[in-house]
Structure 1
Amino acid sequence: MYEIILSVLALVALVWVIGHFYLRGEDLSAFDLPAGERRSIGTEPSEEIKAVAASLGGIFDTVNQTPRRGRMAFLRDYLDNAFPVVDPAIQFNAVNVNGVPAEWVLAPNADSSRRLLYIHGGAFALGSPKSHRRLTAKFSEIANAAVLAIDYRLMPEHPRQAGIEDCRTAYRWMLDNGPTGPGPATAIFVAGDSAGGNLTLSLIAWVRDQGLRAPNAAVALSPTTDSTFGSPSLRTNLGTDYMLGPMFKALTRVPRIVLLWGAWLLNRHRPNHPAVSPVFGDLSGLPPLLVQASEAEMLVDDCRRYVNKAVAAGSPVTLQTWSHMVHVWQIFYPELEEGREAIEEIRKFLQARS
């Protein structure tokens, strides 16, 4: 019995040591300040944002009433139809990108030689080009560009690396192909939200390392940058994040060491590997990058730490924050005034770097 106890204690110690020193990554608390550019500051949420929060609460009530086996299918179907585009002038044209399903999104009079790769969010398990058409259509308009929205492979059917590879394939292809056929691009952009923001940040570092043509600029909306669960706002903003809070509340009760091991097994990457946690990578030599986040969401410290570390490394990266907003509130354009403000900031950023 004594030998069994010692063996168990030794195993527990080994699990802790590996998690602490191999999976957790460096202490990033030195990058908690400065806070970034605060764009909209108010003491109370607006009536518009309260309405959005109420609608999200109703969705989660429906999810909780759905049998567990059917929840993934329900959420995927819901997200695909939640933000329709009613403007008949917007074109959506399916395309095969070297095996990656995608669609070209073209606002009226968009310049097809200017191209923007858009990588949708959805916790790496949800979403598609259809689910994010409201954003991709708007990006085509404000960037005066053809937007390539890719249907990258999702978890859990595919490993995390599969989605990463699909983004790389799409970027290489887009450099030499547009909506009218082969031809060089006059300007290149990359953008993404949430999980897609993570893939955007991972991609621009890879593009730099491969020596490929760098994008003129990139945009990340509320990206997750740290898969080691190290950001303070993951817990401090649990109660104010109307979207991610209900989805991930249970995970905050799990010891971090267990989450680290779970992330390692699920992603098939160390949680602190730059491919899945861009904040732990080399952040020098990046293209101009705009990051937007809500001060009320769980991922705001992910964004802040990434931006501050990138700026310290000499990269031209900017963080803009809004108070009280839901995660990726830009997709609620034009209902939210702050959504309109955020989109206008993105427009000015992209146009200045064309």
Structure 2
Amino acid sequence: MKTFDNPVRDPDGPFDGPVTFDDVAERIASIPLDGQPPELRDLYARLMRGDAAGAPAGMGEEAEVGGVSGLLFRPEGGAGEAPRVVWLHGGGYVFGSPETHWRPAAAFAAAVGEAVFMPRYPLAPEALWPAPLQQSALPVARAVLEGGRGLAVVGDSAGGHLTLTTVLALAREDRPATVAAVFSPNADRTGLSDTREANSPRDAMNNDEDDRRCASIATGPVDLPDDDPTISPLVDDLSLLPPLWVEVGETEVLLGEARLLAERGQAAGADVRLHVEPDAFHMWQLWTPWLKEADASLARASAFVREHLGGAA
């Protein structure tokens, strides 16, 4: 698939021209994410934003949907209509924000031709799971659905987990999402995947130890077992999924559970499509517009979302 004409420009960002996976891996290695949550947040912002500070340089605007604040990204010439696409950002529920994820969200808005809203959900340890679901993702999704024009939920990493738990909860409320897309979703804590340990040395952006540490911080003392469906949506009733696009990298720690999500979803009768990107590590989409594979991933997912949202308009 051809990449789209990506309008995102970030002159103060970490790169100033086209890069490869190796270039991005080198940058990731130069800023190791270590320390307590406040340090992790600062380091992650530095990793993703480079010398940029404060609000995104161009395309985002402060907005509120369902009583939840966040950033709204519109395609060029797309002023006016309320958003139908909600992007739930990653960061292990411990770090990350609309400011660190603005480039892929803005690029997705351009590719899908729709406004994209990225809510600010509460982070751990200040707010423990399921606060992001109950206080942010579900109120936003319900508000979009009330507009009667359909709903697409998109998420990366922990935001992929939040996307899955959100659309499954909506289906149980008998107000299903129209479509969903997940990038490198964190979908299982029960040990079903065969790539968490195997790919830890290969995944430039993630490893099993750090992933589990974030999960422990996110849940805190909450007494939820690993096989609780809100912790491991892979063991939930996947027949409730809306049409779902899944993107995952070949070297990822989370490769196995993404494959299982597609297999189990399809076996349950859901329309689940899977793309495995050769040589890609966790959340490579974040490095748009400099990494061509990031643009291509966003183009694939946005085409799927656009196809389904078109029928809901």
**Same fold per superposition (TM over 0.5):** yes
Partner letter of residue 274 of structure 1? P
Normalized per residue, the structure richer in helix is 1
Partner letter of residue 126 of structure 2? E
Structure 1: distance between partners of 2:37 and 2:151: 41
Quote the offset at 1:80 in angstroms.
6.6
State the TM-score, normalizing by the size of structure 2.
0.83
Structure 2: distance between partners of 1:69 and 1:328: 20
5+ residue gaps in structure 2? Answer: 1-17
1:349 paired with 2:311, answer no
Quote the offset at 1:231 in angstroms.
1.5
5+ residue gaps in structure 1? Answer: 1-45, 177-183
8 Å CA contact retained: 1:222, 1:293: yes
Structure 2: distance between partners of 1:251 and 1:235: 11
| Pairs within 5 Å for 1:95-110 | 95=64, 97-98=66-67, 100-110=68-78
1:71 paired with 2:39, answer yes
- Structure 2 partner of 1:159: 128
Structure 2: distance between partners of 1:262 and 1:322: 30
Quote the offset at 1:229 in angstroms.
4.0
Structure 1: distance between partners of 2:216 and 2:157: 22
The alignment's C-alpha RMSD in Å is 2.9
- Structure 1 partner of 2:31: 59
Structure 2: distance between partners of 1:82 and 1:293: 25
Structure 2: distance between partners of 1:49 and 1:343: 16
Structure 2: distance between partners of 1:139 and 1:69: 28
8 Å CA contact retained: 1:114, 1:185: no
- Structure 1 partner of 2:187: 225
Q: Secondary structure at the match of 2:230?
A: coil
Quote the offset at 1:68 in angstroms.
5.2
Partner letter of residue 182 of structure 2? A
Given the alignment, which residue of 119, 122, 143 partners 1:173?
A: 143
Given the alignment, which residue of 250, 255, 270 partners 2:225?
A: 270
Tell me the matched-pair count: 288
Question: CA 1:347 to 1:274, structure 2 compared with 1: closer, same or farther past 3 Å?
Answer: same
- Structure 2 partner of 1:125: 94
Structure 2: distance between partners of 1:144 and 1:251: 33
State the TM-score, normalizing by the size of structure 1.
0.74
- Structure 2 partner of 1:10: none
Given the alignment, which residue of 104, 109, 118 partners 1:149?
A: 118
Runs of 4+ in structure 1 over 6 Å off:
83-87, 259-264
Q: Secondary structure at the match of 2:63?
A: strand
- Structure 1 partner of 2:164: 201
- Greater alpha carbon shift after TM alignment, 224-233 vs 147-156: 224-233
Q: Deviations over 1:92-117 (max 9, x none)?
A: 1232632x322222121237255101
8 Å CA contact retained: 1:233, 1:299: yes
- Structure 2 partner of 1:318: 273
- Structure 2 partner of 1:234: 196
